[in-house]
Amino acid sequence: MRKNILVGQSGGPTSAINATLYGVIKEAQKQNDISEIYGLRNGIEGALNDNIINLNYFKDDEMLTLLKTTPSAYLGSCRYKLKENDLETYSKIFKTFEKYNIGYFFYIGGNDSMDTVNQLKTYACDKNFDIKIIGVPKTIDNDLVITDHTPGYGSAAKYIATSFKEMYYDSKVYNKPSVTIMEIMGRHAGWLTAAASLGVDFNEHENVLIYLPEQSFNMDSFLETVNERIKRNNCIIVAISEGIKFEDGRFVCNSGGDTEKDAFGHSTLSGCGRVLEYSVKNKLKLKSRAVELNVLQRCASHFASLTDLDESALAGSSAVKYAISGETGKMVCLKRATGEQYKIETETVDVSEVCNKEKFFPKEWITKDCFVSSEFIKYASPLILGEPKIKMENGLPVYISL
Amino acid sequence: MRKNILVGQSGGPTSAINATLYGVIKEAQKQNDISEIYGLRNGIEGALNDNIINLNYFKDDEMLTLLKTTPSAYLGSCRYKLKENDLETYSKIFKTFEKYNIGYFFYIGGNDSMDTVNQLKTYACDKNFDIKIIGVPKTIDNDLVITDHTPGYGSAAKYIATSFKEMYYDSKVYNKPSVTIMEIMGRHAGWLTAAASLGVDFNEHENVLIYLPEQSFNMDSFLETVNERIKRNNCIIVAISEGIKFEDGRFVCNSGGDTEKDAFGHSTLSGCGRVLEYSVKNKLKLKSRAVELNVLQRCASHFASLTDLDESALAGSSAVKYAISGETGKMVCLKRATGEQYKIETETVDVSEVCNKEKFFPKEWITKDCFVSSEFIKYASPLILGEPKIKMENGLPVYISL
């Protein structure tokens, strides 16, 4: 019997999460086993309040291609954390699944979303629901384990590297010594901040300092390093992760004030760039400026990585194939083929092996001169290659929304 | 007798100031009256410390085209203010001009740079120096008088409109009401902030609020407006200029702390986005986030406006022609041809009519619903059209530097 599919998006938006949705829709349209393609509004919340739409209006290639290059999350997102024993909530969700005759459920998201996939799969098994549940990774943070990298990371990395490069060109125009700091997302993992390295010359980076959350931050040694290097370099540029901490565990961003918490209890960070800026101004009496990339780094589809969009779409289409072939409770992984030539294949992994875990930036890739090793450059370079053809109108990218 | 030319860049960098340099070099190469093409390092400072380079290595078109699409100021910049009676300094500058047999001097810059052009021209006339001095406008702020718009504005406007659009897509993913604020450059003139309007639907902008420095800002009425509109719009996006002030003249950004001053005594502003963010959080108890575009808006060459780059180059090449034809003490202006079809020509204006003046955003273009009128859309839309072909390498734009 033909079943319907349901697809949802969750967690922070990226430039590539809609490319995965594109992949799911495109592949589902080809599959004879699938009847209707439904979209879940605002992630799992849509299943709780029956907010589900039929995506059958995605017919022509032009509209689907627009979806692929649109930032944000087309279906909306949520930050809803399923509690393990909240059976009433699970029952509500599965009633919605039954109502729409859902045989396959795809959830595109990060760490917390994979936890949702795991909970739903466990409940489905316990209650003998005939539904295949597959998680598709998405996060600019690149902090999911097992998968070589996460869809969404490449586009963010490309934007960060480009902006860092442009900021460097901008900051070196004056004769006066200056320190320019870019604060980049990444609570615990330094992958995004490390991507700034791609924007500068690997063989000549004495004026570049990179600080990741994987290593504790020492203000005195930072100021000493700046003071030393500015003797030979008129302009120092610094990439720091929002999540850098002092040795005693305090967030650098908090040294000036209080932190806020999001729905998952994660601290909302911002401001460590400013803390460094003021330290440089006050202690070293140098011109300094902090730039915070903020949400721009996760939505800059106008300069997305084509490699990332293609791989994100591949993750989506593979998810459909895995589900049809009977897999459930799995997350789609990107697997880098061995050999010199960069090539990505997909495989699946039990979602329980992924959720609630974090992949950190390898400490051995952090160099003593406050930069990253060539291993990182080799790892990350292929992920930012290529630019998608963006539909333009009146000088601006065209995006679609519900 | 053939003479040499000297060209310098001054003031804040833009995505288009090198396109003007490109125009100057390209045109000078064609002119029989011109022998060597010299570049002034770090603006007028280069004439004081004899830091001048021969640009004859710009030979092939590929290198020149790279210059056209490179952000920042290739020759370096300065924020050096010439004092009116400092005859020693003038004498030093003109000694350098004589040493290099300079017959034509081009200074690419904004308001303050045009003042430099004016001072130099006055001194040259007084002392009977045979040198033609021409100013070429450049500023993302679009605040120079007489010229229809300034080279550099279109690219910044395109980036702002695009980022505002992407931020809007990003911020509307959650079900929870939210207020997202983008702080945009512009000390006294709202041109840049107004460009955010280009990124949204003119016929459906109830969820968009724009505040320019030309009108005083009232916090209570801002909060009231947000509170009213959020009833019908889940997500409100706000574009504010860094320079907005309360009715009593205090900068909004200063309501939380002190301001700094740059070399010209201008206040260095930042932070009014945060002031609004905290007001929304504390008074309205709504989710809020402030994004500051900072220097990114003046160096994002990866998404420059082709129209802007072409016009910037035109301003540069026209400057050379005007100088050769004998004009001096003039600034090149962009003049919009009358008629429906957008077309730009150049003309000259006495630089004394431009320097130390500012062109403000017309108050009658600010609408009562905190948006801008269709006149502005009509004015600004052509300026952001087209994308230059950017040379890419390893997934990143290729730029050149000295």
Q: Give average pLDDT by consecutive 10-residue segment, chain B, 402 residues.
A: 94 96 98 96 96 95 96 94 89 97 97 94 96 98 98 98 98 95 96 98 96 97 98 96 95 62 47 91 95 96 98 98 98 95 97 95 98 98 97 98 93
- At residue B287, the 3 state secondary structure works out as strand
| ipTM metric | 0.95
pLDDT digits (tens, 9 = 90+) for A114-168: 999 999 999 999 999 999 999 999 999 999 999 999 999 999 999 999 999 999 9
CB atoms within 10 A of CB A36: 16
**Residue (of A13, A222, A228, A30) closest to A110 by Cα position:** A13
3-state secondary structure chain A: CCEEEEEEECCCCCCCHHHHHHHHHHHHHHCCCEEEEEEECCCCHHHHCCCEEECCCCCCHHHHHHHHCCCCCCCCCCCCCCCCCCHHHHHHHHHHHHHCCEEEEEEEECHHHHHHHHHHHHHHHHCCCCCEEEEEECCCCCCCCCCCCCCCHHHHHHHHHHHHHHHHHHHCCCCCCEEEEEEECCCCCCHHHHHHHHHCCCCCCCCEEEECCCCCECHHHHHHHHHHHCCCCCEEEEEEECCCEECCCCEHHHHHCCCEECCCCCEECCCHHHHHHHHHHHHHCCEEEEEECCCHHHHCHHHCCHHHHHHHHHHHHHHHHHHHCCCCCEEEEEEECCCCCCCEEEEEEEHHHCCCCCCCCCHHHECCCCCECHHHHHHHHHHHCCCCCCCEECCEECCCCC
* Options A115, A141, A143, A308, the catalytic residue: A141
pLDDT of residue B379: 98
Q: Verify whether the Cβ–Cβ distance A171 to B294 is below 8 Å.
A: no
Whether residue B396 and residue A175 make contact (CB cut-off 8 A), yes or no, is no
Question: Could you tell me which residue, B261 or A315, shows the higher pLDDT?
Answer: A315
Q: How far apart are CA B228 and CA A270, in angstroms?
A: 29
Q: Which of B169, B289, B396 lies at the smallest CB-CB distance from A401? A: B169
Q: Per residue in A90-123, pLDDT tens?
A: 999 999 999 999 999 999 999 899 999 999 999 9
Contacts of B396 in chain A (CB under 8 A): 158, 161-162, 165, 198-199, 384
Q: Which of A13, A79, A173 sits opposite B170 (nearest CB)?
A: A13
C-alpha span between A139 and B250 (Å, rounded):
42
Check if the beta carbon of residue A160 is closer than 8 Å to that of residue A215. no
The count of other CB atoms within 10 Å of the CB of residue A85 is 7
Q: Counting one residue from A and one from B, how many pairs have CB atoms under 8 Å apart? A: 165
Angstrom CA distances, B110 to A18, A350, B18, B77, B142, stand at 42, 60, 14, 12, 9
pLDDT score for B82: 87
Q: Which chain B residues are closer than 8 Å to A9 by Cβ?
A: 173
Q: Which two tokens stand for residue A146?
A: 């097992």
Residue among B201, B309, B396 with most chain A CBs within 10 A, to mutate: B396
pLDDT at B255: 65
The C-alpha of A199 sits at a distance from chain B's nearest C-alpha, in angstroms, of 7
Contacts of A166 in chain B (CB under 8 A): 71-72, 296, 299-302, 399
Question: What's the gap between Cα B129 and its chain centre?
Answer: 31
pTM of the model: 0.96
- In this complex, the residue of A161, A169, A292 whose CB is nearest that of residue B71 is A169
User: Which of B67, B233, B281, B294 best tests the A interface by mutation, with the highest count of A CBs <10 A?
Assistant: B294
The CA distance from A277 to A288, in Å, is 5
Query: CA of B39, closest CA in chain A: separation in Å?
Result: 14
| CB-based contact A163 B300, cutoff 8 Å | yes
C-alpha distances (whole Å) from A317 to each of A19, A363, A389 are: 10, 34, 20
- In this complex, which of A76, A163, A298 lies closest to B296 when CB atoms are compared? A163
Q: How far does A275 lie from chain B, in Å, by closest CA?
A: 14
pLDDT at B260: 44
Place of tokens 């929870």: B176
Give the dihedral of Cα atoms B368, B370, B373, B377; nearest 10 deg.
180
Residue A269 confidence (pLDDT) above 80: no
CB contact (8 A) between residue B174 and residue A71: no
DSSP state of B119: H
pLDDT at A80: 86
Cβ distance of A170 and B13 shorter than 8 Å:
yes
Buried b (16+ CB within 10 A) or exposed e, A199-208: bbeeeebebb
Catalytic choice (B60, B61, B115, B141): B141
Give the three-class secondary structure for B150: coil
- The answer to whether B258 is a known catalytic residue is no
Minimal-distance CA residue of chain B relative to A278: B260
Please give the pLDDT value at position A84: 81
Tell me if A396 and B158 make a contact (CB, 8 A cut-off). yes
Copy the structure tokens of residue B269. 């502003």
Cβ-defined contact of B76 to A299 (cutoff 8 Å): no
Q: How far is A352 from chain B (nearest CA, A)?
A: 26
Of residues A166, A198, A396, nearest to B302 (C-beta): A166
Give A336: exposed, middle or buried? Use CB within 10 Å, 0-12, 13-18, 19+: middle
Angle at B305 between CA B303 and CA B310, to 5 degrees: 135
Least Cα distance to A205 among A224, A175, A229, A180 occurs for: A229
Q: What's chain A's length in residues?
A: 402
Closest residue to A76, CB basis, from B175, B291, B292: B175
Selected residue of A74, A155, A170 to mutate for chain B interface (largest B Cβ count, 10 A): A170
CB contact under 8 A, A302 and B300: no
**From A162, A165, A292, residue closest to B292, measured CB to CB:** A292
Contact B399 A42 (CB under 8 A): no
User: B387–A392: do the CB atoms touch at under 8 Å?
Assistant: yes
Shortest distance between the Cα of B382 and any Cα of chain A, in A, equals 8
B109 contacts B82 by C-beta, under 8 angstroms:
no
A174 CA to chain B: closest CA distance, Å?
Answer: 5
Which of A162, A168, A173 to substitute to test the interface with B, most B CBs within 10 Å? A173
- Written as six digits, the tokens of A399 are 């995006």
The beta-carbon neighbor of B170 closest among A72, A198, A384 is A72
Cβ contacts of A179 on chain B, cutoff 8 Å: none
pLDDT at A255: 64
Q: From the CA of A8, how many Å to the nearest CA of chain B?
A: 12
Q: Give the residue on B whose Cα is nearest the Cα of A294.
A: B291
A223-245 pLDDT tens trace: 999 999 999 999 999 999 999 99
Helices B17-30 and B306-324, interaxial angle, to 10°? 40
What is d(CA B376, CA B382) in angstroms, rounded to the nearest whole number?
11
